[in-house]
Amino acid sequence: MGISKRSHSLSLPSASASTLRRRSRTHSGSRVVSSPPTTPATTSTSDSKVNVSLWSLLLYEIRGGDHPSPSPASSRDIEEIVNMTRVPYYLERFMAFGLGVCVCSYLTVFTLVPLKLVVQLVKSLWARITGVRTRPPDSLRHDATTLVTIGGAVYLLNVVVGLDISRMYHDIRGQAHIKLYVMFGVLEVADKLLSSLGQDVSDLLYCRDNSKLRRVVVAASAIVYLAFHAYVLVYQTVSLNVAANSYSNALMTLLLSNQFAELKGSVFKRFEREGLFQVALADLCERYSLGLMISIIASRNLLQLTRMGSDSWESLIPNSWSSAWNNLVGGAIIGPAIGVFGSEIIVDWLKHCYITKFNKLRPQVYRNFLTVISADYISSMGDGDSHNLTDYLVHVRRIGIPLYASIVCSLSMTMGDLKYVLLPVRGTSIKAVTANSVVILLVFLALVLIRLILGLVLLKSAVSIVNRRQVENVIFPGVPNPEMSTINPTSRHLLYDPSEPVPPGNEEKSRRRDRDTDLDSVMRFKMSSKRIW
């Protein structure tokens, strides 16, 4: 039952057929110099088919590995892997400085803004006593507006609305897990939308051209906005507290899966440096908000456990926390932060590693991002001795953190517990008032000292970063490719008709771009790329 080889012949292009015939005549130890292959686009369709036997095809497949071709991309692949391992280091440097700026801005509102307001009021009072007419600086009005707006939002949220954290906690705890999981996504979107709106409200609030009536209307609108945004943050914090204090691991698993869902939405996308900068700023905002929420949860747990006594500690520690952490320090403070904040860091590492890999970006690009926010911090310090403390809104606007809303949220959630710390002595006697005043003064001075030390460290670091900045090549040679499959750049013309012009590829576009791209115009909630992260 012999079968003719001719009956099983295949039709292949002439270039491939000639290659098969040359390789089929190759013997062991011999070497044939191959001629340059014919371009498929120039091959005539009338002579492009010949008969090739199965034996020739088998020899072609078997002996294909005997003719290794040089791989110039091997060193490039090694550099890609090395760059992926270096991304977390550069990313964490950016995150550390950015978080320092956020904390410094947060402490400024609590310490230096009230202190400067008191100093300016004393100067104005002394000028009236001495009869010297002086015009109060604009910073005095800005600082007074800031404190009045924050105080009005706290009053509206706690007194008028009647915010009850305990009732909210038990209402959220009684809901289904899947409903709470959906609620996390809704609250996250609402936070981003309100943060974008808050920047416009801040611009109107500090505008100098407003009339008195318009200032009152804008201030009232800002108070309502801050109260609503703070309520969203409070609800988000309490939801996270329910997940952290859950006696079942199911709710914590749903929370962690929400973080890993970020990889699907961001990794397999085309990014320019402006878009990657916005992604880094968005991750910085998430870490700030998450760190603030965890701090509030830890402080509330610690204060409540302390007030209830040591006999109730073990009964209140959730079973979802590891037994190794079932103590006061580990359970009340470290326990909620391990899973949530640790998973956020791991997700950020994976996300940025693969974004830089697919888009052919070197990890030094994060050094340029660090230079931008360092220059913002230097400019916010101002020139001379009478700079405006509200200039920190410059870099807060770039990063996009909801500064005032987060302050209202933290005050609303911790005022009930902080009074046991700041007012240790009960009563209205002179001794009690004096003791409580001393405690409040010491706490305030400690916060001022921490703020000044942190500001000095950040200023020295920012000056050092800006001074030694060098223009580097942050574009990795190659085709930016966020997909799992690849297309050879030399074969792209086959995707177009002969009469159709071939547009430039991604690599050619990247080479044409100015490598000193201006990142100063990139803001957190400004459309600098295809989308806002």
Neighbouring CB atoms inside 10 A of 204's CB total 15
pLDDT at 470: 52
pLDDT at 397: 79
Helices (H), 111-211: 112-130, 138-155, 165-173, 177-205
- Residue 375 in any domain: the answer is yes
Which residues are 50's β-sheet partners? 12
- Residue 38 in any domain: the answer is no
423 — phi, psi (to 5°)? -125, 70
pLDDT at 396: 73
- Residue 300 in any domain: the answer is yes
Condensed to tens digits (0 to 9), the pLDDT of residues 264-277 reads 778 888 888 888 88
Helix axes 74-110, 403-422, angle to 10 degrees: 60
Contact 341, 294 (CB under 8 A): yes
Q: Checking DSSP bridges between strand 50-52 and strand 10-12, what pairing results, if any?
A: antiparallel
Give the total number of structural domains in the chain. 1
Neighbouring CB atoms inside 10 A of 528's CB total 18
The helix (H) or strand (E) run that includes residue 345 is: helix 335-358
What is the reported pTM?
0.73
Would you give per-residue pLDDT tens digits along the chain (533 residues)?
A: 444 444 444 444 444 444 444 444 444 444 444 444 444 444 444 455 567 788 888 887 887 655 555 555 567 778 888 888 999 999 999 999 999 999 999 999 989 888 988 888 888 888 888 877 777 676 777 888 889 999 999 999 988 888 888 888 888 888 777 777 788 888 888 998 998 888 888 888 887 766 778 888 888 999 999 999 999 999 999 988 887 777 666 666 766 777 777 777 788 888 888 888 888 999 999 999 999 998 888 888 777 766 665 455 455 555 444 444 445 455 555 656 777 788 889 989 999 998 988 888 888 889 888 988 888 888 877 654 444 545 556 667 788 889 999 999 999 888 877 777 666 666 667 777 787 788 888 989 999 999 999 999 999 999 998 887 754 445 555 545 444 444 445 545 544 556 657 666 655 565 555 444 566 666 655 555 665 55
Determine the residue type at 531: R
pLDDT at 223: 93
Query: Could you tell me the CA-to-CA distances from 442 to 260, 345, 437, 464, 508 in Å, in that order?
Result: 43, 35, 9, 33, 62
Residue 452 CA, distance from chain mean position: 26
pLDDT at 92: 94
Look up residue 321 and give its DSSP letter: S
pLDDT at 459: 92
- Residue 3 in any domain: the answer is no
Helix axes 212-244, 335-358, angle to 10 degrees: 110
The helix (H) or strand (E) run that includes residue 526 is: none
Structure tokens belonging to residue 390: 């509200």
- Residue 140 in any domain: the answer is yes
- Residue 363 in any domain: the answer is yes
- Residue 31 in any domain: the answer is no
- Residue 20 in any domain: the answer is no
Radius of gyration of the chain (CA): 32
Domain range for 214 is 88-467
pLDDT at 95: 94
Structure tokens belonging to residue 239: 């939801």
Condensed to tens digits (0 to 9), the pLDDT of residues 211-245 reads 778 888 888 999 999 999 999 999 999 988 887 77
pLDDT at 531: 59
Contact 301, 313 (CB under 8 A): no
Taking the CA atoms of residue 299, residue 302, residue 307 and residue 312 in that order, the dihedral angle to the nearest 10 degrees is: 150
474 — phi, psi (to 5°)? -95, 0
d(CA 312, CA 317) in angstroms, rounded, equals: 9
Q: By CB neighbour count within 10 A (0-12 exposed, 13-18 middle, 19+ buried), where does 495 fall?
A: exposed
d(CA 452, CA 446) in angstroms, rounded, equals: 10
**Which residue matches tokens 């200023």?**
459
d(CA 527, CA 362) in angstroms, rounded, equals: 24
SS3 10: strand
